[in-house]
Structure 1
Amino acid sequence: MSDVSDTGPVPKPALADVRVLDISNFLAAPLCSMFLADFGADVVKIEQPGRGDEIRYWGHDKDGVGLYYKVVNRGKRSVTADLRTPLGVEIVKRLARDVDVVVENYRPGTLERWGLDYETLSAENPGLILVRVSGFGQTGPNSRRPGFGTLAEAYAGYAHISGHPDGPPLLPAFGLADSTTGLMAAYLTMVALHEQRRTGRGQVVDLAIYETLLTLLGPQVVDYDQLGIVQQRAGSRLPFTAPRNTYRTRDGKWVSMAGSAQSTFERICAALEAPELVQDPRFAENRERLKNAAALDVELQKAIGRFDFSDLQERFLHHQATVAPVNDIAAIFRDEHMAARQNIVALEDAELGGPLRMQNVVGKFSRTPGAIRSTGPRMGEHNREVLVGRLGIDAERLRAAGIRLEPAEDKVANGGQA
């Protein structure tokens, strides 16, 4: 049934009937369940008693509360259980009986060692989908190696093409491989759920962290296969279109600009009052521009350097040419368009004692939009609700195992709970 508001019935969230058990840590796999929770999936997250998900200790904290945890684990319920103990294994098995999806990211062989392999988990739930995220996948000669996003960014070929020709390979300044893997894992989960709805059968989704990035890196595979080309570092340039770079305005602001189509390049030149660039045989069409990309950048920088940022934006808008400011996060907070799109949303967080702003759900649905129901929970905040209320485990048995039934109010650095 739909909820009812002042304006009439409100449809249930798109994934309101999907139950997820998240036994993962860190970033890639928890992002998968975050994207599912954003659209209404019921996600129960298992954390190690006393310490919790390691992402509680990543990055910055405020008053001892890890901030990024609040984003990645939004909309989830936190339960503590040690999967290395018989009670922890029992909790996972019992929760897995009536969920659609289990998400994990332990090194291959770990679940099998704990007695939580797919055959065991699916014995009483044949429709179960087990999403397995690991550094190198469940098969292949590297499968048992430890792996994480930074290694994947090098292994998949990203670092080799990132940076300047005379400089070292560069890694991204955020978790690129983990983030893209989280997106792909959520997509693959939805594919498996669609098939599950059709057949009633579950399956294992095996995703290596480097694989999504390998696919997203563009035409490298076909270019090498057919032409023997090995893409090299070229700063901000792309190997298949020019111009594409960042440029500095007269008043010291930076803009990003690309001419991916001939008409786009011509509009850029019109906006810059530089029609001679279109007539120059070196820049007349895309393949010639690729050969002469460095010279083109010099000419474009000269032209852009004649205008202040605000004037440049007005000119580009008038000519329907493509340009965007190089924003830092402070500029993003001030951006009127992002505000209108509600790309950043404020939520109340009891642990932080006030509102917390974070990136909103990605994408706009006309009828069943996603929504962030809550920020990341305190460690074990839902132990009583899930372990006692849902599973019926005796409270004293849980306490004897060191599982607290109420989240602690005291905090430790980055952890959010003692």
Structure 2
Amino acid sequence: MSPLEGLRVVDVSTLFAGPMAAMHLGDMGADVVKVEHPRRPDPARGHGPAKDGQNLWWKTLGRNKHTVAIDLHTAGGRGAFLRLARTADVVIENFRPGTLERWGLDYAALSAQNPGLVLARVTGFGQIGPYRNRPGFGTLAEAMSGFASSTGEPDGPPTLPPFGLADGVASLATAYAVMVALHARDRDPDGRGQELDVAIIEPILAMLGPQITRWDQLGTVQPRTGNRSVNNAPRNTYCTKDGSWVAVSTSAQSIAERVVALVGRPELADEPWFASGAGRAGHADLLDDVVGAWIARRSRAEVIAAFDAAEAAVAPVYDPADIVADPQFNALGTIHRIKDPELGDLAMQGPLFRMSRDAATIAFTGRAHGADTDDVLTGLGYTAAELAALRADGSIG
């Protein structure tokens, strides 16, 4: 049995943070129903590369989700959504604050039909405050959280990630919040659910360590250091003889000592400044020169083998071809190959973790817009005539 089998999640969110949270829950066996507007599907379906007219990001983001097309602006669509929410444990939405209220689909209305429902509301800035009605995307969260200001080269501009980092972090926070709320519901004598307010600006801020406490107590901020760290050295990426790159980390004192011994400079470990990570970080130029020169004279395979033998910490800087071929990822089963009806054998990253008894699974890839509308609504009790009427007035697609 899948861990979340029997749990129904209605995903009425778009783009990334909300839909990715629903994807994580679906990986664990939840029955996820993706609700999209009949004429304006989730913009994620057009994000990034495509093959043969099939969006590749959607194949992953939409996996394990049954798709229905319902227009929440219409009376018929709202009625269908209410009936669907009545069967759900969780609804995930990311409309601007006040939108569900305007449609008569706020938590008061939903919980009146289903007192145990958990409503996860994912927005850029949260449900309260002066920015609540602003459009919110992960890029803005990466900027406002302090991530961008601390990322990049010392003499360069603040740097944004080339992917949806803040959305991804928020998706994990949302999935965690949902499970906390479900546990609280199970402990509540009346089995009551609740609303969850997830602001995308907050989870990534929580991941950035003690920057707020540092500013509060010391009045200082973390500077941009490129690939270096202010907490230890050597810590950087280095180019090998064959043009590949490797990353070295020495967060532990013993690892730092092994690295300088490996590269032929064991005497550096006797320097007073070498005894702490901060001291080594203050001599990063010297350590980078020593380690970088040693690595530059060897191939990537030679560097990895030597570091492994010395029990020092190193990793190759991978691209997707490397990831798919790597024996550790293969041992973990990280990459799943799923049969897709349009594209055939399709590789994608799998669920986030393994369990000793229960199994996560990817049952199917992202499905076509509205592919399951009739099946899902029929399961809610709609007759063929009622579906035809809803389709005729544009309430469903």
Same fold, TM exceeding 0.5? yes
Query: How far apart are residue 28 of structure 1 and its match?
Result: 0.5
Structure 1: any 5+ residue segments left out of the alignment? 1-11, 406-418
**Structure 1 residue 334, shift from structure 2 partner:** 1.7
Which residue in 2 is equivalent to 1:263? 254
Taking the aligned partners of 2:364 and 2:94, their CA distance within structure 1 comes to: 24
2:354 to 358, 364, 376: 364
Q: Which residue is equivalent to 2:73?
A: 84
Q: Are positions 1:64 and 2:64 aligned together?
A: no
CA distance in 2, matches of 1:162, 1:396: 54
State percent identity of aligned pairs: 48
CA distance in 2, matches of 1:37, 1:259: 38
Provide the rounded CA distance (Å) in 2 between the counterparts of 1:67 and 1:177: 21
Asked if 1:26 corresponds to 2:4, the answer is no
Aligned residues: 393
Secondary structure in structure 2 of the residue aligned to 1:259: coil
Matched position secondary structure for 1:116: coil
Q: Distance in 2 between matches of 1:141 and 1:402?
A: 36
* Deviations 1:40-82 (CA, angstroms, capped at 9, x unpaired): 0011110111331111111111111111011011001000011
2:149 aligned counterpart, secondary structure: helix
Residues 319-347 of structure 1, C-alpha deviation per residue, up to 9 Å, x if partnerless?
11100000011111221221222111111
User: Contact 1:19/1:101 (CA < 8 Å) preserved in 2?
Assistant: yes
Counterpart of 1:49 in 2: which secondary structure? Answer: coil
**Residues 160-206 of structure 1 deviation map (CA, whole Å, 9 limit, x = unaligned):** 01110111111001100001101110011111111111111111110
1:398 is matched with 390
> Using the alignment, how far apart are the partners of 1:222 and 1:242 within structure 2?
23
TM-score, with length taken from structure 2: 0.96
Amino acid at match of 2:388: E
Q: Indicate the SS of the match to 1:123.
A: helix
Task: Pick which of 274-283 and 183-192 moved more.
Answer: 274-283
| Corresponding residue number in structure 2 for 1:408 | none
Secondary structure, counterpart of 2:357 in structure 1: coil
Is the Cα–Cα contact under 8 Å of residues 248 and 304 in structure 1 kept in the other structure? Answer: yes
Which consecutive unaligned segments of at least 5 residues does structure 2 have? none
Q: CA RMSD in A?
A: 1.4
- Tell me if structure 1 keeps the 8 A contact 2:74–2:395: no
Contact 1:274 1:303 in 2 (8 A): no
CA distance in structure 2 between the aligned counterparts of 1:400 and 1:388, rounded to whole angstroms = 17
Give the letter for the 2:130 counterpart.
P
Summarize deviations over 1:255-312 as a string: whole Å, max 9, x none: 0010001011112222223212212334332121122223322222123223222221
**Within the alignment, does 1:39 sit opposite 2:28 as a pair?**
yes
- After superposition, the Cα gap between the structure-2 partners of 1:143 and 1:123, relative to the gap in structure 1 and judged at 3 Å, is same
Q: Establish whether residue 227 from structure 1 lines up as the match of residue 218 from structure 2.
A: yes
Alignment of 1:8-407 (within 5 A): 12-199=1-188, 200-352=191-343, 354-393=344-383, 394-402=386-394
Quote how far apart the aligned CAs of 1:351 are.
2.7
Q: Which SS does the other structure have where 1:283 is aligned?
A: helix
In the aligned structure 1, how far is the partner of 2:43 from the partner of 2:63?
15
Query: Which runs of 4 or more aligned residues in structure 1 lie more than 6 Å from their structure 2 counterparts after TM superposition?
Result: none
Are the counterparts in 2 of residues 59 and 68 from structure 1 also a CA contact under 8 Å?
yes
Moved more, 336-345 or 30-39: 336-345
Amino acid at match of 1:87: G
Q: Which stretch shows the higher mean deviation, 173-182 or 237-246?
A: 237-246
Q: 1:298 to 1:254 in 2, by over 3 A?
A: same
- Distance (whole Å) between structure 1 residues aligned to residue 200 and residue 146 of structure 2: 13
Once the two structures are TM-superposed, the CA of residue 403 in structure 1 deviates from its matched residue by 6.2
